[in-house]
Each structure stands twice: as structure tokens, then as C-alpha cells.
Amino acid sequence: MKNKIILLFILICLAFIGLFSWLNNKEYRITVRFTDEKGTLLRANSETFYAKPYRLLSRSKLEELVPGYVPVKKFIFFKKPTQKLTIKFKPNNFDQEVKKFKNAKYVAATFQPMTVTANNGFQSDPYNTSRTYNGTKTGKDSLRLIYSNDSKNWEKLNISYPRLNVRDPSIAKINGYWYIVYTKGLIRTRNFKKWEKMSWPHSKMFANHFEWAPEFFKDKKGRYHIIMAGNSVLTHNFQLYISDFDCKNGQIKNNWKAIKGYDFPSNMIDGNLTYFHGRYVLFYKNEDVAKNKLTMAVSKNYLGPYTSQTLNVDLNSYTSAEGLEAVFFKKSIRLYVDPYIINNKNQSMYNGVHYTEEKYGTNNWSSLKAIKAPFIVRHFGILRNK
């Protein structure tokens, strides 16, 4: 009997040794999709990790791919030969992140296309002219908030973002709320944890709901308005329109009025408007011309009439640029644009926002320079925070 027990023990040991050797020679894999706590993508592409069976997936390797975040789940094992997981991440230090954002001299709202990856520093744009943003026709574009103290070097606010498709956003701080208006949408938050989606009142003035790139601006009396490009049902051309903004209720009043100009093109988009030194300064993209689309106009009234001037900005090797955004200083203007090239597949390829500067009134603009940021920053809206 004793010999049988010993023999059984030896067989069990040999079985365990054999199983261990078999497992040790195998390699399991986990393909990870990265999202924040709200399910918003943090990376455009998934990553695959390999390890021996029943080993732990390295937290440090995960964190390297999404700096500023840590996995919500502590222990993830290689349990199957092939696994596909969506792993949620939370900010490594939420309070510190928000504090840095609130204390920065400049903050901005932008977006990051999450269905296309960068290649040699350039990223294609999966947009759709219908601008429906239902996640199937246009891909998913994640809201991103960034901050800076010199408006040239930017850091990303690492928080959990609302699970929405956001393009061409603009940011304002009104009555304790941070408002973000974007193409066909408006949201707000007090604490960057809870996000409230406000109503977007489509107007019958615009064909097929073609309402693009809205931005906040303040008039000379400090009242808030929205400027936006809309496709008129009468002309089927894009012009710039302004609506009042109800700061008490956080609503766009939907009382759109067309901006007038002595020499406006028949198609214009991407309006950026600032009251500066007693005049309203409007930047926009002229869609009627093949080159030199960047334009500035001035008027004593925000609805016009404006007088326009084509900007002498050298785009170098870029095909064109859009998403104009201006920051004014005492004697100069820093103008941001989102330049792009057209590749041999007829795709628009972007490598991030650039800026150019002029001494106010000279129309003598400096060479384009790229901002610095941890990802490819697209058409953004800047708020001088301090």
C-alpha cells in the first residue's frame, strides 16, 4: 500500500512537471483597447501583449502607452491563448491635473480622431461632410482639453472625457461652468467629472443641418455670442452667422443673423471673432479661392459690414490651412491654423496646429511654426484663462 502511494505521488509530480513545461513553452496574447472610465478612446490603435500562461499583464507597460493614466483593474491575467480586452483607465492624479489646467494662462479645446493612426507625423481625417457624428459615418473624434503658459507648448488634461464625437470645439468659462461648443453640440461641466449635454437647436435657415465649427466670442459689452458657418437654404453656400448665447440657462438662442461684408466671398468658413482696440477683428477661410484662403476682416460692429484682407501667410509645402484662431497681444497677433497636405490618394493629411505672428496692422506674417503637444492637435479654440 505504501509503495502504491509513493508511486501515485511520483506520477502526480511528473504530471505537474509536464504541465508546467508545456505551459512554459506556450505563449498567450492579450489585445488591449484603451479607454477612460467613461469609455472614451485614449488611443486610436489597440496594442497586443505576449506572456506565458497565467502571468500578470504588466501595469507599467500599459501606463507607458497612456501617460497620466492608470488601469482601473489591478490584476489582469493571461488566461486564454487569445484574449481581446477593453481596459478602462483613470487619471493618475485627477486633482492635480485639474489644478494645473485651472492655473494655466491659456486653455484650449480640441479633438483627436480615434479611428486613424499617425504615419510619419501625419494623420488623415475621417470626416464626413454631413457632420452627423453618429459614430458610424464619421468615425469617433474624442474631445481633448489642453493647457499652456506660453500658448506654444501645450499639455493634455488627463481626465475621463464625455463619450461624444466632437469636432472643432471652442471653450468658455461662464458663471462657474466650463462650456464647450462644437459642431452640432454643446456641453458643460463644473468639475470635469460630470458632463451635461445641452440642447443643440438646429435652425431651418441651414440646409441639411450643415452647421460647422461654432465658437464663443464676447462683444464690447462683455456679452457672449456664438459665431458659426452655416449652409444657407437659399444660396446653398456657406456664410458666417451669429447667435446670442443665454448665459443664465446655458442655451444658444438660435437667433442666427448673417454677418455682412463689403467684399465677402460666396463661401466662407471657420470664423474666429475678437473685439480688440475698438474694432471687431474677424478671421475666416475663403473657400472661393484655391490658394491664400486665410483672411482677416475688420468692422465697428460684430454683424458688420466688414472689410476683408487676404493674409500674407506663407504655407510653405502645405496645400492649405483651416481652423483659424487668434490670440491678441498689445501690439501683435498670434494666429493659429490647422494646415494640411493632399497626398497621392487625395486624402487630407494633418500634422498639428501651427502658428504665425504679425505686428498688428502690417500683414507681415512670420514663418509657420508647429505648436508642441503630446498628440496631433487639430482645429482648436483658445481661452485666455489668466
pLDDT digits (tens, 9 = 90+) for 32-81: 999 999 999 999 889 999 999 999 999 999 999 999 999 999 999 999 99
Looking at residues 17-44, what average pLDDT do you find?
79
The closest alpha carbon to 88, from 160, 142, 141, belongs to 160
DSSP 339: E
My answer on whether 266 and 326 are in the same domain is yes
Are 101 and 157 spatial neighbours (Cβ–Cβ below 8 Å)?
Answer: yes
Q: What is the mean pLDDT of the chain?
A: 91
Domain containing 142 — which CATH number? 2.115.10.20
What DSSP line would sit under 204-221, residue for residue? Answer: TTEEEEEEEEEEEEE-TT
pLDDT exceeds 60 at position 176? yes
Give pLDDT, residue 133.
46
Q: Choose the weakest-confidence range: 88-97, 112-121, 300-309, 355-364.
A: 112-121
Give pLDDT, residue 1.
60
My answer on whether 202 and 277 are in the same domain is yes
Residue 362 phi, psi dihedral angles, 5° rounding: -95, -25
My answer on whether 200 and 315 are in the same domain is yes
My answer on whether 170 and 277 are in the same domain is yes
Q: Are strands 141-148 and 106-113 parallel, antiparallel or unpaired?
A: antiparallel
Looking at residues 6-24, what average pLDDT do you find?
51
Residue 122 phi, psi dihedral angles, 5° rounding: -115, 150
My answer on whether 30 and 162 are in the same domain is no
My answer on whether 352 and 322 are in the same domain is yes
My answer on whether 81 and 175 are in the same domain is no
Angle at 269 between CA 343 and CA 147, to 5 degrees: 80
Confidence tier at 3 by pLDDT (50, 70, 90) = low
If you search the block for the grid coordinates 467613461, which residue do you land on? 38
For 32, counting Cβ atoms within 10 Å of its Cβ (0-12 exposed, 13-18 middle, 19+ buried), the class is buried
My answer on whether 305 and 231 are in the same domain is yes
My answer on whether 112 and 253 are in the same domain is yes
Write out the residue range of the structural domain in which residue 36 sits. Answer: 2-91
My answer on whether 32 and 128 are in the same domain is no
Domain edge (last residue) among 91, 108, 127:
91
Share of the chain above pLDDT 90, in %: 81
Confidence tier at 17 by pLDDT (50, 70, 90) = very low
Structure confidence by residue, pLDDT tens digits, 220-262: 999 999 999 999 999 999 999 999 999 999 999 999 999 999 9
Domain edge (last residue) among 91, 109, 142:
91
Domain edge (last residue) among 22, 57, 91:
91
Structure confidence by residue, pLDDT tens digits, 92-103: 999 999 999 999
Number of domains composing the chain: 2
pLDDT exceeds 60 at position 132? no
My answer on whether 32 and 167 are in the same domain is no
Handedness of CA 353, 174, 268, 116 (dihedral sign): positive
Long-range contacts of 327-333 (CB under 8 A, 24+ apart): 327/106, 327/151, 327/382, 327/384, 328/274, 328/276, 328/281, 328/360, 331/359, 331/360, 332/357, 332/358, 332/359, 332/360, 333/281, 333/357, 333/358, 333/360
My answer on whether 219 and 306 are in the same domain is yes
Are 171 and 381 spatial neighbours (Cβ–Cβ below 8 Å)?
Answer: yes
Count helices and strands in the chain by DSSP H and E runs: 3, 27
Domain containing 72 — which CATH number? 3.10.20
